[in-house]
Structure 1
Amino acid sequence: MSATHTRDMLKQLRRTSKFYCPQCKEELQLRIGELVIPHFSHRKDSNCQQLFSEGESKEHLVGKRQLYSFFESKRITVQLEPYLKELSQRPDLLVTAQNEQYAIEFQCSNIPLKDVQARTKGYMNAGIHPLWLLKTPNLEKQKTARIQLIQLSPFRQQFITSHPQHGSTLLTYNPITSMFMYYSHLLFVQGYRFIAKVQQLPIAHQHFPFLHLKEPTKEEFQQYWQLHLQIRQRFLRQRLFLSRKGVQDTLLKRCYSIRISLEQLPLYIGLPVRYAQDIDVYIVEWQACLLFFLRDCNLSTSQVDDEIISTFMKKYPDYFQGDRGRTAIIHYISLLKKLRIHSIQSTEDESKIFHLLHREFLAKCYEN
């Protein structure tokens, strides 16, 4: 069906014509409702193995139609739900631009990761660029701040893309508001939490290939830093007052051994680092343990090598699974050397830490 067909034209066409599935050759029904966009459907007793546009949500159907119209308005060649026989796959949209093909999947619900990987691999093997576009989460209250603490489920995290110039981004689309939502320049915190630059873009202002947001300004990175400090301070306070182990808590005992309170740990303990998500505890926890470990071994940060890192990781098997986390440790040691931090009792300079992290952030040193 063409985007130029009106509902009246389609109703007339339905009275005078018959329609057949290009795969199973069964007769199709042309449904023309007032809410959902017109579409074809098989009969309930169909045996077709390539059913499409059936059982889909209203948001999915409307979103595909809006995206289809968007590409048409840009005079970009686009097909709606074409069946790719050689792949046995049917993307929501197949776009051809600048002699390149793009399979766009507008994903409104969670599906098994293995299905995502299989579809992605199929497109790539055929020389087609896969673009997964998630539906923007329905939140009761959208925050207005541009720099926000957000939560991304493991499913959504699989669709974060990394660009050498523009950093990490999760792009979503909301068919109700006709808005793209950018969660860009993601900085991992812990678990499902990230600090991100969040911005909406009306579909009328979008381009293709999809736009990238400008990197955060120094003032915006200051907001990253303040959110980071708030999260860090909240962790330390909760650990101090809510630890189930009480005085037997290892971290509390080690702080007491050098006569500082948990809340007085220097700011270079808890630095955001690359691949921090590979370690199963919050950055303050394992970074403090690493510096205490070096203190016990009478080692400075400048003496750390692969063997010492391996010994440390074996000492804390609950934190590290196999070799996961090694890159995060290496990045952390690199930051400490740049800051000229030699041990857990080195002095700190918050301004120096902030400027180093800002440079690392702009250099995309936190990208996976």
Structure 2
Amino acid sequence: MLTAITKNGERYCLLYPERKEKLMKIRGETSFYCPQCHSEVIVKIGNIKIPHFSHKSNTICASSEPESERHLQGKIDLYNWLRNQQLPVEMEKFLPKIKQRPDLYVQKNGKKYAIEFQCSSISIEEIEKRTKGYSTIDIVPIWLIGGEPYQKKYTQIDNVFKLSDFQWSLAQYNSTNGMHIYSYLPQSKELTIISHISPISIRKVFGQQISYPLSSLDFPLHLPKSNKNNFDWNFWFHEKKNMLQNKIIYAPNLKDSFLATAYYNRHSPILFPPLIGIPVNFMEICKTHAAIWQYFIWSDSFRHLNRGDETTFAMVVRKFEERVSNNDIQLRRFPLVNISFLKQMIYHYLKILSKFGLLEETLKGRFTMNKSMPFPNNIEEAARMEIEFMNTFYK
């Protein structure tokens, strides 16, 4: 950490450190303490790493974990960025009411903000705890990942990334950029956003990556709208097939609720029609692949209906939520998103089925069955149905 207090309670910040010789003298003459746990800390002075305060070994404190060079430099960069905008900003301000210490605390236009520059993976429970803590005292939390906002960027196809659970948990949403993640890289002095995140598998996603020099941006972040990429349907269907094939090979067969349901219905997952497992709005809320949860929707809510039979949107949602309760469908947790989007996702899928003639929404929230879902009989027929689907969808 870069801030400590003296015996008299005065704050001392190493943001603009003295020369090494003077720091060594200060270290020998002055005792420093952690603002949070009040245990004594030491001044670390090296030839490479930024001077900083560190807890003594075996100290129990929420802020006692060692900080990387990236974390220290990132906090300094962000502090200077805010100061250059003439904003009142404090480094590592301790908030006694919630016993939390954000990396930066800043105010603008009557609003209070806490910036968390997170360079190491932490649990989603910790993110939720800190976010809720700030909200209870009317502070807006802003989370930035330290480094790249992804684990891996694939080169064989444009704009495909691999995200960890930690990176997923810091996703945010707005109508401009959809589901998106912010990060800052001190080495390049750039802030990066991956916007319009759309899952391909549990870890793999489509997204639009854009980087901006930090100095070119104002606080709070209002980045220009980025254009959504053209969706690669061939890649989507290829990855869906791989997922379903791996499911058949590695899942414990009848102990897997999805496979058990498919086999009970006498369906092979590798012979699903293209309308089961298609990308829809807000599907990023599901950790479970679209092919699985959409098959459950068809099986639970529409398989037994005859032409002209009716069901309601509320009934479809209820059956979906039962699958979630039974852990047949897993949802992602987004501490920084205040809307679930579950109903929007399901409704969008039903509207697509309606556009392809399977359903008809006769009244708001009431759907009539027009025809059953056609399942292919072999691989060749499945491939032909995919081509027909893509041609129809583009039109």
Bucket of the pairwise TM-score, normalised by the shorter protein: 0.7 to 0.9
Q: Which residue of 2 aligns with 1:365?
A: none
Specify every segment of 5 or more residues in structure 2 that has no aligned partner in the other structure, as ranges: 1-12, 332-340, 360-371, 376-384
Tell me, in whole angstroms, the C-alpha distance in 2 between the residues paired with 1:80 and 1:100. 17
SS of corresponding position for 1:89 = coil
Q: Which residue of 2 aligns with 1:287?
A: 294
Distance 1:251 1:118, change over 3 A: closer
Q: CA deviation at 1:169?
A: 0.9
SS of corresponding position for 2:200 = strand
Q: Which residue of 1 aligns with 2:171?
A: 160
Q: CA deviation at 1:14?
A: 2.4
Q: Which residue of 2 aligns with 1:234?
A: 242
Establish whether residue 341 from structure 1 lines up as the match of residue 358 from structure 2.
yes
Q: Which residue of 2 aligns with 1:272?
A: 279
Distance 1:174 1:146, change over 3 A: farther
Q: Which residue of 2 aligns with 1:319?
A: 328
Q: CA deviation at 1:50?
A: 6.3
Q: Quick one: which amino acid aligns to residue 78 of structure 2?
A: L
Moved more, 306-315 or 277-286: 306-315
Establish whether residue 332 from structure 1 lines up as the match of residue 343 from structure 2.
no
Q: 2:86 aligns with which of 57, 71, 75?
A: 75
Superposed CA offset, 1:165-205 (max 9, x none): 32111112223333323221111333233221123333333
Aligned residues with identical type, % of pairs: 25
Q: CA deviation at 1:111?
A: 2.8
Q: CA deviation at 1:84?
A: 2.2
Equivalences for residues 178-327 of structure 1 within 5 A: 178-217=189-228, 220-223=229-232, 225-235=233-243, 251=262, 265-274=272-281, 276=283, 281-288=288-295, 290-291=297-298, 294-299=302-307, 303-307=311-315, 310=318, 319-320=328-329
Distance 1:100 1:352, change over 3 A: farther
Distance 1:53 1:235, change over 3 A: closer
Moved more, 232-241 or 122-131: 232-241
SS of corresponding position for 2:275 = coil
Q: Which residue of 2 aligns with 1:97?
A: 108
Q: CA deviation at 1:126?
A: 1.7
Moved more, 49-58 or 194-203: 49-58
Q: Which residue of 2 aligns with 1:353?
A: 393
TM-score, length-scaled by structure 2: 0.68
Distance 1:10 1:198, change over 3 A: farther
Is the CA contact 1:185–1:197 (under 8 Å) kept in the aligned structure 2? yes
Q: CA deviation at 1:42?
A: 5.2
Q: CA deviation at 1:283?
A: 2.0
Distance 1:53 1:70, change over 3 A: farther
Distance 1:181 1:265, change over 3 A: same
SS of corresponding position for 2:83 = helix
Moved more, 285-294 or 313-322: 313-322
Q: Quick one: which amino acid aligns to residue 47 of structure 2?
A: E
Tell me, in whole angstroms, the C-alpha distance in 2 between the residues paired with 1:284 and 1:22. 51
Q: 2:44 aligns with which of 8, 13, 31?
A: 31
Is the CA contact 1:171–1:183 (under 8 Å) kept in the aligned structure 2? yes
Q: CA deviation at 1:131?
A: 1.0
Distance 1:18 1:344, change over 3 A: same
Q: Which residue of 1 aligns with 2:130?
A: 119
Superposed CA offset, 1:312-342 (max 9, x none): 88799663489x9776444311221134334
Tell me, in whole angstroms, the C-alpha distance in 2 between the residues paired with 1:311 and 1:16. 68
Tell me, in whole angstroms, the C-alpha distance in 2 between the residues paired with 1:325 and 1:153. 22
Distance 1:255 1:89, change over 3 A: same
Specify every segment of 5 or more residues in structure 1 that has no aligned partner in the other structure, as ranges: 356-368
Tell me, in whole angstroms, the C-alpha distance in 2 between the residues paired with 1:44 and 1:164. 47
CA RMSD across the alignment: 4.3
Q: CA deviation at 1:299?
A: 4.3
TM-score, length-scaled by structure 1: 0.73
Distance 1:7 1:52, change over 3 A: farther
Q: Quick one: which amino acid aligns to residue 166 of structure 1?
A: N
Is the CA contact 1:251–1:289 (under 8 Å) kept in the aligned structure 2? no
Q: Which residue of 2 aligns with 1:176?
A: 187
Count of matched residue positions in the alignment of Structure 1 and Structure 2: 344
Q: Which residue of 2 aligns with 1:366?
A: none
Is the CA contact 2:98–2:133 (under 8 Å) kept in the aligned structure 1? yes
Moved more, 14-23 or 197-206: 14-23
Distance 1:106 1:25, change over 3 A: closer
Q: Quick one: which amino acid aligns to residue 52 of structure 2?
A: H
Q: Which residue of 2 aligns with 1:14?
A: 26
